[in-house]
Every structure is written in structure tokens, then in C-alpha cells.
Amino acid sequence: MPQAAPEPRKTLDPDRVAEWLARHPDFFVGREGLLQSLTIPHPETQGATSLLERLVHDLRKRAEGAELRLEQLLDSARHNEAQYRRTRELVLALLEAQDNDALGQALATQLSERFQTPAVSLWCPASLTDRDPRPPQAPRHVLDDHTGQRLTALLDGRASRCTRLTPTDWKRLLPHAKAPTKSGSCAIARMTLGEPQGFVVLASPDPDHFRASMDTLFTEYLAEVLVRLSVRLCERDDG
């Protein structure tokens, strides 16, 4: 009598097995021996390992990842705290200035010592600088049409911007500071209080110090503080 053909071997769909186990988390209760006998591929070496060893390995990896993320958060918090302290000292020094020349000097000193910014200039319109009988002292300068047009072009329609600064532009925008032989970088912000009141320029001979991708929130904040203090000092002198 001919033998019957063997039935094809049935295999379980792995996705359906995983779905079933997810719906029955108590399946292994009372079947601890089954857990101990399970082996799975080792993630880093050839061969198999026990389920328990694999779980320990995965937990260790998760713990290492969590520690790394925590350290990154702590580094960010320490950076933000240091930035806040530097900004606080800068603003306090500006508030103590008795006139606009002292304001410019305090700005240059604080930026150099606390923010590693070697050069700065303040360009104010004649309507502000004419109130002082003395000519402005560096880093303050009287804003002329040519300089205003160049600063406006560099801003490219924005309130503030980080960009490269050619030696020619450096000589024009920071005439009191030694120009580098090659391109540097700068952060520019428009000073506005109801209407345009000039520009502030922070510059470095390092072309990567102020990168185009950098956020300019600090520069805008600095410009807002400077224009208010400058106008207030002018009004006090007029009084």
C-alpha cells in the first residue's frame, strides 16, 4: 500500500506570535524553565545568548543612553547659566555708564572680557550724536549714508544677522580696530526705538566666530538695551 504523502510542515507567523504574546503577558508565569531555555542572537558577537543575558545587555545600553542624554542636558544647563551670568554682568555695566562714550567703552570691555568678542562698533545717526558737544569716541561713530547703506545691505532685510566680513567692510564698519588680512565674521543688529536709531556690530577676525547658522537673539537683545540707554543718556544731557 503506498504511503500517504507527509503533510506540509506548518510554521507560525512571527508577527502573529508577537501579537499573541503581547495580549497574554502572563503566558510565561509558571513556565520559567521555558524562559531559561530560550536563546536569541547576541547583538555584538556571533552565536546565541540566553534571554536573560540579552535583557541585561539591552538594559545596560538603555542606561548608557539615558546617562548620555542626562549629561547633555546638564551641559546645556551649565552653559545657559554661564551665559545668563555673563549677560547680567554686561547689562549691569552698561547701566552704570554716565554718558554715551562710557556706554560704548563698557560695551567693548564687557564683550571682549566675557564673550571673547575682540571688536565692536556703534553707529548712531547724527540726531543722537549731535546732542553731545564732543565728537563721539570709539567704538561710537556717526552714521553716514554710505555706512548705513552698507550695513543695510549686509542685514539683507533682517533685524539682525551673522555673516562674513571682508577686510574692506571691516575698515569701513570698525575703523578704530585693526582689520584682519583675510575675511573675518560679524553679528549685526539694527537699533530701533519707534524708528531706526543706528546699528551695533560685533566682529571677530575669526571667520567662523559668527557663523551664518548662529542664533542672533542675544545680538538683538543687546541692540534693544543699547538704544534705550543711549536715548536716555542723550535726553538727560539735554535736560
CATH code assigned at 114: 3.30.450.40
Task: Kindly state whether residue 33 falls inside one of the protein's structural domains.
Answer: no
- Share the mean pLDDT of the chain: 86
How many residues in the chain?
Answer: 239
Considering only CA atoms, which of 131, 132, 113, 106 is closest in space to residue 122?
106
Give residue 121's pLDDT.
97
Run of H or E including 200? strand 195-204
Domain membership flag for residue 183 = yes
**36 belongs to a structural domain:** no
User: Cβ–Cβ contacts within 10 Å for residue 48, how many?
Assistant: 12
Distance separating alpha carbons of residues 198 and 193, to the nearest angstrom? 10
Q: What is the mean pLDDT of residues 127-137?
A: 70
Q: Write the pLDDT tens digit of every residue in 66-120.
A: 888 988 888 888 988 988 999 999 999 999 999 999 999 999 999 999 999 999 9
168 CA to centre of own chain = 28
Residue 130, pLDDT > 60, answer: no
Note the pLDDT of residue 50. Answer: 63
Q: Is 88 contained in some domain?
A: no
pLDDT of residue 52: 65
Q: Is residue 107 part of a domain?
A: yes
Q: Which three cell numbers stand for residue 49?
A: 545568548
Question: Residue 106 is part of which domain span?
Answer: 97-238
Q: With respect to residue 72, please indicate whether it lies within any of the assigned structural domains.
A: no
The answer to the question of residue 50 being in a domain is no
Average pLDDT over residues 131-135: 67
Q: What is the band of 146 on the pLDDT scale with cuts at 50, 70, 90?
A: very high
Query: Is 81 inside any structural domain?
Result: no
Between 26 and 230, name the one with better pLDDT.
230
* Average pLDDT, integer, range 149-157: 95
3-state helix, strand, coil in the chain (%, to 5): 50, 15, 30
Q: Which residues contact 33 (CB under 8 A, 6 or more apart)?
A: none
Residue 26 has pLDDT above 60, yes or no: yes
The partner residues of 91 in beta bridges, in order of sequence, read none
* Grid cell listed for 78: 551649565
Total number of domains in the chain: 1
5 forms beta bridges with none
